[in-house]
Structure 1
Amino acid sequence: MIIYTGKGTILDDEYENRSVPTQVVLTPIKSLLDKGYCVADNFYTSPEFADILIHRKTDIYGTMRQNRKGVEKF
């Protein structure tokens, strides 16, 4: 578990080119990737996050908020 405390939060360097919300979720679940697990998320779900998980053989279940970066407006 990671408690996000702002700029001082220690996140995995592997994800430094990703958005901060994506880094915050990927860092603690890194050991679960590529093992066929399903991540359920109701706050951090984004197209970027979903794409990463799918490419890492990890399913995702969550609510996609319309105001998320990368979500097309309908």
Structure 2
Amino acid sequence: MLSGKVKWFNNAKGYGFILADGRDEDLFAHYSAIQGDGYKTLKAGQPVSFEILQGPKGLHAINIQPLGSNARLHTSEG
């Protein structure tokens, strides 16, 4: 797994871009590649881990997992 930060993500369109640590090329990030239950979204600057897949129009981030304090946690406490 690689790590990086979300460059930007548009909730209405369901996609954005991630900048991998140590790389210059942006990686396409689609909401369907975000791991977890519930509403799948990312925020600019949010740290993430992911894998890279070569798509027809460039590199895609897949198996995206939000990291750190910005990660949304689902609990049954209420």
Structure whose residues are more often helix by fraction: 1
